[in-house]
Structure 1
């Protein structure tokens, strides 16, 4: 493959990577849990390859310097942006994934370094999916298990045994959760309509 073709391929992968990042800022992503991760790692591996192959070029040295500077700067403010990058590239923080049907799926875990465990509901829209609702996992445990003490509320490792989609419309999503052999249908307000309350 010629240097020109390598450059064009890398540019295309970088544009897809940046597009995925912009989608994530707007609560969208490519459909499926691993698609984003594969795009991210493909971009990272190609970046390493490009830097090694074209290291003698001044523009590559500048590009490398900018990437390293970005990583260093993300580490400085209490490591928060750095851990955000780690979460974006890896499966760290995702404890459980459940496909409810062909359109909806849920994830249990921490989407960022400072987050408490959350349930995030995704709705598939073609090749994309959108976060339509988020709720603290402790709320799900409290409503389903109804514990008499705080032990279960703080147990991030407590798994969902089963989750079933009961109903979904523009305003809400109703899911039946089973945790510790107890079941409860929980109403999730659609994130798109949260501002209707104000």
Structure 2
């Protein structure tokens, strides 16, 4: 494969990767949990390949320097941007992913280095999906277990969701029946903003 073709392929993957980043800032993403991971790892692998293959070129050395500088700068402010990058490329802070139907899925995860576990709800439309709601995990535990957060031991907080079933959905809320520790309750999640046009 000629260097020119490799660079063109890399630029295409980079544009797809950047489009995913822009979508993420607007609470959208390409449909499916692993899609952004695959795009990210493909971009990362091609970046390493390009740098090794074209190392003698000054532009590539400058590009490599910018990438390293970016990583170092992301570590400086309490490592929060670095952990965000790490979370983007890996499944470290993603505990569970459950498909409710063809349109909705939920993810139990920690959205940031300093954040507490959350349940995020995603709605899919074509090749895109949007995060339409986010609720602290502890609120769902309180509702299902019928206990206050003070009375829920740390071991119980780590218990997985055994089952999640869509009850109903409208423009204001989405009802999901959760089963945790063999107990079932319906929890109504508020929808972010007006989703009627989505």
TM exceeding 0.5: yes
| Maintained 8 Å contact 2:138/2:149 | no
User: What pairs up with 1:1-198 in 2 under 5 angstroms?
Assistant: 1-147=1-147, 150=150, 152=152, 154=154, 155-193=156-194
TM-score (norm 1): 0.94
TM-score (norm 2): 0.94
- The residue matched to 1:52 in structure 2 has which SS? helix
Report deviation, 1:157. 1.7
Report deviation, 1:182. 1.2
Over the aligned positions, Cα root-mean-square deviation in angstroms equals 1.4
Q: Which consecutive aligned stretches of 4+ in structure 1 deviate over 2 angstroms post-superposition? A: 147-156
CA distance 1:122–1:153, shift in 2 (3 Å): farther
Report deviation, 1:39. 0.4
| Maintained 8 Å contact 2:28/2:131 | yes
Q: List per-residue Cα deviations over 1:174-198 (Å, max 9, x = no partner).
A: 101111111111111111249xxxx
Q: Which runs of 5 or more residues in structure 2 are unaligned?
A: none
- The residue matched to 2:161 in structure 1 has which SS? coil
Matches of 2:187 and 2:72 in 1, distance apart?
A: 43
Matches of 1:112 and 1:149 in 2, distance apart?
A: 21
Report deviation, 1:147. 2.3
CA distance 1:4–1:107, shift in 2 (3 Å): same
Q: List per-residue Cα deviations over 1:54-77 (Å, max 9, x = no partner).
A: 111000010000000000000001
CA distance 1:15–1:148, shift in 2 (3 Å): closer
Matches of 1:149 and 1:8 in 2, distance apart?
A: 53
Q: Which runs of 5 or more residues in structure 1 are unaligned?
A: none
Report deviation, 1:156. 4.1
Aligned length: 194
| Maintained 8 Å contact 2:133/2:191 | yes
CA distance 1:44–1:103, shift in 2 (3 Å): same
